[in-house]
Structure 1
Amino acid sequence: MPSPSYARNAILPFPGGPIATVLGLLDDAGLALHSDREAACRSLTRAIALLRRDADFDSGDSRGGLAGWQVRRLSSYIDEHLDGAIRTRELAALLTLSVSHFTRAFKQAFGSPPLLYVARRRIEAAREMMLASDESLTRIAHVHGFCDQSHFSRTFLRETGITPQAWRRLHRSG
């Protein structure tokens, strides 16, 4: 069974596939069930959304936003550039779309605006590194495109409901 290092905020399948992502979300919900019911509910809600979205992609629903190849190209580009600045205009240029059209289409396809999606992917990747290494949180923050540990901690807390240090302790002991 995969560790709960997969994203609580996953919208599209990430490495390990959609089943592994959903299992990670369910692991997170199970861990939080007795200590933080709200976090458990958020994880379950996101797992349900991922399953629904995956079913929509499988049924041919284009979601009205971006074509499958565009979603794949953007996902790959974002994952490859998590360590640096990723600007909406650069993502739009990647698909030769205007920024305004791109922003609307991205939100339809991914379920959130580009910058929020990128922040979530950064947190997901940081969570994986936090479980796989003993690197300092400052180093993990910089490797994943955050300007400093404070920015990383605020974003992490907003997305997961827990600080990075507390999350690491909780998931390493379990």
Structure 2
Amino acid sequence: MSESIDTGITLSAGDVGRPERAEQARRLLTLLMETERAIYRDPDIASTYLNQAISLLTVTRHNKTPYKPRGGLASWQMSRIDKFINNNISNSIRTIELASLLSLSPSHFTHAFKQTTGMTPLVYVAAMRVKAAQQFMLCSTRSLSDVALSHGFCDQAHFCRVFRRETGLSPQTWRKLYASNA
């Protein structure tokens, strides 16, 4: 299963605020992992899982309605927030700091941010930290503890909890599946 397959599902930093895309990717990954486990044990079940995955991909490919949040923050505001988060990924990032970047009160900022992304600023920051950690783990053999601390998590346990919540996998399992140097 090391071949690259064009699934039609591509996730980017902009998809962090699109929970339906992350859920589709998680569901697809689960189906494919179950297929791999069942392929020798019970080919009929493996075939069922594979058909479900194909159905999910077909629905995803044909459901191309653009995501347009109502109200919320402007794209330039989100760009400013993203740039700040990326530049400070290893530091503590508080909602009040993000709000002050846009000269908004923390309350107004949180409401507008959630309206734009579908999540709170702190959940978004955590998701961005996980994405950055994933990119880092693709080309690094540093310990998970080092990865956690260098990406703004207070410790490895916190990193593992957030990583699993975001990806459905532990960092160690993810690294074994995707990193070429693991």
Shared fold, TM over 0.5: yes
Amino acid at match of 2:178: H
In structure 2, distance between residues paired with 1:75 and 1:143:
18
- Partners of 2:34 and 2:108 lie apart in 1 by 39
**In the alignment, structure 1 residue 35 sits paired with structure 2 residue 25:** no
Asked whether 1:84 is paired with 2:91, we answer yes
Distance 1:67 1:97 in 2: 13
> Any idea what the Cα deviations from partners look like across 1:80-133, whole Å, max 9, x if unmatched?
111000000010011010111000000111221100000000001101111111
- Computing the radius of gyration over CA atoms, which structure comes out larger, 1 or 2? 2
> Under a length normalisation based on structure 2, what TM-score does the superposition of the two structures give?
0.67
Structure 2 residue 61 is matched with structure 1 residue 63: no
Total equivalences in the alignment: 146
Cα deviation, residue 11, structure 1: 5.6
Whether contact under 8 Å (1:11, 1:111) holds in the other structure is no
Distance, in Å, in 1 between the alignment partners of 2:72 and 2:64 is 16
**DSSP 3-state at the match of 1:34:** helix
Alpha carbons of 1:99 and 1:154: their partners in 2 closer, same or farther (altered >3 Å)?
A: same
2:99–2:106 contact (8 Å) kept in structure 1: yes
Distance in 1 of aligned mates of 2:166 and 2:75: 26
Give ranges in structure 1 of 5+ residues lacking alignment.
15-21
Percentage identity across paired residues of the two chains = 45
Q: Which runs of 5+ in 2 are unaligned?
A: 36-51
> RMSD over aligned Cα, in angstroms?
3.4
TM-score (norm 1): 0.70
Cα drift, residue 71 of structure 1: 1.1
Q: Determine if contact 1:11/1:110 at 8 Å carries over to the other structure.
A: no
After superposition, the Cα gap between the structure-2 partners of 1:90 and 1:156, relative to the gap in structure 1 and judged at 3 Å, is same
Please tell me whether the aligned partners of residues 85 and 145 of structure 1 are also in contact (alpha carbons under 8 angstroms): yes
Measure the CA separation in 1 of the matches of 2:104 and 2:28.
Answer: 41
Partner of 1:166: 173
Equivalent-residue separation in structure 2 for 1:131 and 1:29 (angstroms): 22
Is 1:103 matched with 2:101? no
